[in-house]
Each structure stands twice: as C-alpha cells, then as structure tokens.
Amino acid sequence: MKTILITGCSSGYGLETARHFHAKGWNVIATMRTPRAGILPPSPRLRVLPLDVTQPDSIARTLDVAGPIDVLVNNAGLGLFGAFEATPMATVREIFETNTFGTLAMTQAVLPQFRSRRAGLVINITSSATLAPMPLVAAYTASKTAVEGFTASLAFELAAFDVRVKLIEPGYAPSTRFTANGTERMQGLIPEAYAPLARDIFATLGQPAAVTSELDVAEAVWLAANDASPRLRYAAGADAVALAGQREGRDSALVL
C-alpha cells in the first residue's frame, strides 16, 4: 500500500486530492498550516499533520512524523491578483516563499529517502498561467513558471536514481478559495489607472467557456502518480487541456 504526502490540504485541490487517493486505497498524509478537525474522515489510512512549507523546522518535523512516503505532492500555494507596479516587493517575496521556495524546500527534504530507495515521485502543482500568461498576475505567474523550469531540470537530474518528477497544470477554478485566501494581500493592488483592465478581466472570468474543478486536478494527480512513463506535464481541466494543446501546436510549428 503506497503512501502519499500532500501539502496545502485545507481546501481546494489539496483537500480533494487527499480524498481521492484515500478513496482509492492509499495511505494519505494531508498537511496544512493549521489542521482543522473534521476536514477529512477519520481513517487508519489518513493522517492530518501541521506543516508550513516556508519553515525548515516545520518541514523536518512533519517528515519525521510522516515516515517513509512514496509520493510527494507540492500543492501548497498562495494566489495574487493585482498590478505588478502596485505590488510591494514584500508581497512578491511572500508569494515566492510559498509557491516556489516552499516547493523546492519540500522536494529537497524528501530526496534523500527517494534516492536511497531508488524510488519515489514528486508531483508539483503549477498553473495554466504558465501555458497562457494573462495580465495582473505577473508575480504569481513568475512563481509558478519558476517551478516549471525547476521541475523540468530536476526530472533529468534524478532519472539516474529512478526518482521521477512530474507537473500538474490546472486551469481556472472558480470554485476554489484562490481569491478569498488572498483578499487581504491583494488590497490596493488595482490602482485607478488599471481599473478598466481589471474590469475587463473580471468580466471574462465571469463567463468562462470552460473551467477546472478540484476533482479534475485530483484525477490528474492520480494519473501522474500511476504513470510510469517519462511524461512530464499533465493539464488538469478542460480549459487547461485546450491551452496545452495550443502550446503543443506552437511548439510543433517552431520545430517545422
């Protein structure tokens, strides 16, 4: 029976992924900054542990309690919407600390056990913003694009040890708490000069042709976790799948 450790399980993708893998019979270690009672059903195959991916001591404690794992899912992340011109660099650093450095730190912490066993899988959650960049999410997109480059390089680096690394690229998911979780952080980030642009974007987001659900992401993680092929990227959600197809078309055109 395999064990998966998932970061950022308090809501959204992480919570649904924990439920999905538990339902499939895996041992699940669901982590979050502040564990909440009742968020997941009691089960001998499921543990909820505290974890702040920006704190080395927290990472070390959690992995020590968790014991050996087979799959790490780096899902913990912060959202940010606003004009880059108005975004304090302290806020940009906060986004990178969780989205980028948190992912790197968790990955680095589990690699010794994976390498020594010559087995293990790291799955990093990014965003369709890396497939089709959009305005007013520049810092957020930068934090996720950095993870994409890191993951692609690391996959080559770890292949010699039979350790695999994969990417999940979710689309736009209005049912998650992406905006709600960052409301305070986003205050004042839309100056008057950017207001018309922001209104246009919100109008577009309010009438999407296709969206991504939490289950779409959980199923993509499940596919990646059980795919022994060297495939690196897995789009999650109809909108992300469409964007990934466009990217492949552009890449093919460049080759030709």
CA angle 226, 232, 236 (to 5 degrees): 75
Q: How many independent structural domains does the chain possess? A: 1
Closest CA to 49 of 68, 70, 28: 28
Beta bridge partner(s), residue 49: 31
pLDDT tens-place values along the chain, 256 residues long: 999 999 999 999 999 999 999 999 999 999 999 998 899 999 999 999 999 999 999 999 999 999 999 999 999 999 999 999 999 999 999 999 999 999 999 999 999 999 999 999 999 999 999 999 899 999 999 999 999 999 999 999 999 999 999 999 999 999 886 666 667 788 899 999 999 999 999 998 888 778 999 999 999 999 999 999 999 999 999 999 999 988 766 665 555 5
Burial class (CB in 10 A: 0-12, 13-18, 19+), 3: middle
Residue 36 is part of a domain; what is its CATH number?
3.40.50.720
* pTM attached to this predicted model: 0.94
> The domain containing residue 185 runs over which residues?
3-255
Q: Which of 13, 140, 172, 194 is catalytic?
A: 140
The answer to whether 98 and 53 have CB atoms below 8 angstroms apart is yes
**Has 140 been annotated as catalytic?**
yes
